[in-house]
Structure 1
């Protein structure tokens, strides 16, 4: 054994070009994996696994296919709205009128049915156009008049919900064809999960590609980080935000159509308070309330996590008020948690940089 080899063994290093290349490759792989493993998205996935495991061990019925059917049915409308809401919040804006758009869509759908418009495909198209129009109203006030989206959408939250009561009052329309109401929640053949989840998955892929793999997505992050700088680089900030509000309105109406068909009932109070669940899921998914940071993987994981937790606690006979408290607490954690984690990482980085 020569001296250099012995020195390498004592210091824990390897000699030879082949072993050095392998070490470099392993180190490169570790550098690529470490950010993913230590990310907020990974933490949400781990939390979801722990919640499912704990629920299956302690609450009867959590492990059953029937439980996951109800979880899926609950998260579908939340996921539909959370997809465009993610993009809106990344640009530094917010839309709190989404649940009211859902409710107004339900009542318009019911009123059209009462008026004799019995072609549901036509009704659905009209409802989606209505949602896009309502979103355009939000976008016009925010981008055309320069008003803060928080104030605008709080106002339209009340306005659209009030219009829902004007359209239908306290009545409920429930005589839709069974082939539509049952078809909306029909399971995938061989499974208990409703087929509508495939539509959500397809839309999630489209939104993820737009956000993470196109210049449009890079522009959204640029707007969220610094709208003025983004404008100077040629990005149409106002136009982009306007169309995001239109997309949010249309997706909220799609959620309203699903809501109506799932419960076979069009009512003015449909989806009341759903905006809290949507915003909580987006922020818990790692999207910064200040814009410029976040992704769809974490949001989808957060939607499933919140839906699973809520349904599991309902099986455990936890009161509805307690569930609301838990949702609010998670909303606070979702805002504070990433910032605290970032501060801790920065402090550790500085400590390592000064350590000899």
Structure 2
């Protein structure tokens, strides 16, 4: 009986391992790349695939803190507006004569403060995260419009374009920075006490409080990180475009949440990891790139991505 139990246990462990959502997502990623290679003969080109990452990795920086927020059982729909506000303030300051490096630092500080304000309002006044971030989404975007109205600001120094379009050893600079942040947030989530506290809060916030976990402090830190990473996105997005307007990054919050949820992060809190969303980022990004090679209309791309998200939810529920 003991041997039979061991065999059954091993089979169950193997089945659980290979039917993890990350493996299913990886298979889907491979299938999409195979299909894209048949759709366009120009798809499977290493240099072009590396270049393609520059078209979608700017918003991917926000996915990392969004994973933490969703695991906490919260949500942040103000990140796109934080990107816009950070970008506008940075550009306007530079056009007013502030050195570009100083303008970048101020832009990062603005984004970080916006994230901190979200966390502060949510925790200190015990408010719903969706209500607070919906309000600040309107507020931050409104401030950007007040500052710049409906105009564009640009004329950045030549070296600034390196952030969005530069290479180091043939590898896009943005891909290198993305990898560094991926490793950092992965270690923070899976290998530190802070990460364990995030999971504990998402699973049962009352039990976490009774266990002595400083829930409010952790939430403030996580939302502040979301603001900071939104400002990082603003740096790369503005560098790519060469200018900015108050309406940049519209819909980024939905894209970011989609990438996280499609990567297996539960919107109910307490579940998710870093690997799934990373695979999700490249799956959705390269899918759009491949469809773009055959001039697929943007609405059609939205339908396909929406279908994949529904598929992810259905498969996850079917597994349960």
Please report the TM-score for the alignment, with normalisation by the length of structure 1.
Answer: 0.84
Matched with 1:211 is 189
**In the aligned structure 1, how far is the partner of 2:46 from the partner of 2:154?**
28
Matched with 1:17 is none
Residue 175 of structure 1 contacts residue 264 of structure 1 at CA under 8 Å; is this kept in 2?
Answer: yes
Evaluate the alpha carbon distance shift between residue 332 and residue 150 of structure 1 in structure 2; reply closer, same or farther with a 3 A threshold.
farther
* Alignment match of 1:305 (pick from 271, 279, 283): 283
Which structure 1 residue ranges, 4+ long, deviate > 6 Å from structure 2?
26-31
Corresponding position: 1:115 with 2:96: yes
Corresponding position: 1:283 with 2:261: yes
Deviation at 1:337, TM superposition (A): 3.2
Residue 289 of structure 1 contacts residue 335 of structure 1 at CA under 8 Å; is this kept in 2?
Answer: no
Moved more, 297-306 or 131-140: 131-140
Deviation at 1:30, TM superposition (A): 6.4
Residue 277 of structure 1 contacts residue 327 of structure 1 at CA under 8 Å; is this kept in 2?
Answer: no
**In the aligned structure 1, how far is the partner of 2:13 from the partner of 2:118?**
41
Listed one character per residue, the Cα deviations across residues 304-349 of structure 1 (whole Å, up to 9, x for unaligned) are 100011111111221111112223333333344312321xxxxxxx
**Counterpart of 1:138 in 2: which secondary structure?**
helix
**In the aligned structure 1, how far is the partner of 2:96 from the partner of 2:115?**
25
Corresponding position: 1:261 with 2:239: yes
Matched with 1:315 is 293
Listed one character per residue, the Cα deviations across residues 47-89 of structure 1 (whole Å, up to 9, x for unaligned) are 1111111111222321123531343112322221000000010
* Alignment match of 1:93 (pick from 49, 74, 79): 74
**In the aligned structure 1, how far is the partner of 2:221 from the partner of 2:87?**
23
Instruction: Give ranges in structure 1 of 5+ residues lacking alignment.
Output: 1-19, 343-356
Number of residues of Structure 1 aligned to a counterpart in Structure 2: 316
Moved more, 317-326 or 27-36: 27-36
Please report the TM-score for the alignment, with normalisation by the length of structure 2.
Answer: 0.93
Evaluate the alpha carbon distance shift between residue 206 and residue 32 of structure 1 in structure 2; reply closer, same or farther with a 3 A threshold.
farther
After superposition, where does 1:33-52 map in structure 2 within 5 Å? 33-52=14-33
Evaluate the alpha carbon distance shift between residue 183 and residue 239 of structure 1 in structure 2; reply closer, same or farther with a 3 A threshold.
closer
**In the aligned structure 1, how far is the partner of 2:149 from the partner of 2:53?**
30
Deviation at 1:183, TM superposition (A): 4.9
Instruction: Give ranges in structure 2 of 5+ residues lacking alignment.
Output: none
**In the aligned structure 2, how far is the partner of 1:56 from the partner of 1:301?**
18
CA root-mean-square deviation = 1.9
After superposition, where does 1:1-356 map in structure 2 within 5 Å? 33-117=14-98, 119-189=99-169, 191=170, 193-342=171-320
**Counterpart of 1:270 in 2: which secondary structure?**
coil
Matched with 1:9 is none
**In the aligned structure 2, how far is the partner of 1:125 from the partner of 1:144?**
28
Deviation at 1:139, TM superposition (A): 0.7
**In the aligned structure 2, how far is the partner of 1:222 from the partner of 1:183?**
37
Moved more, 143-152 or 33-42: 33-42
Pick the structure with greater CA Rg.
1
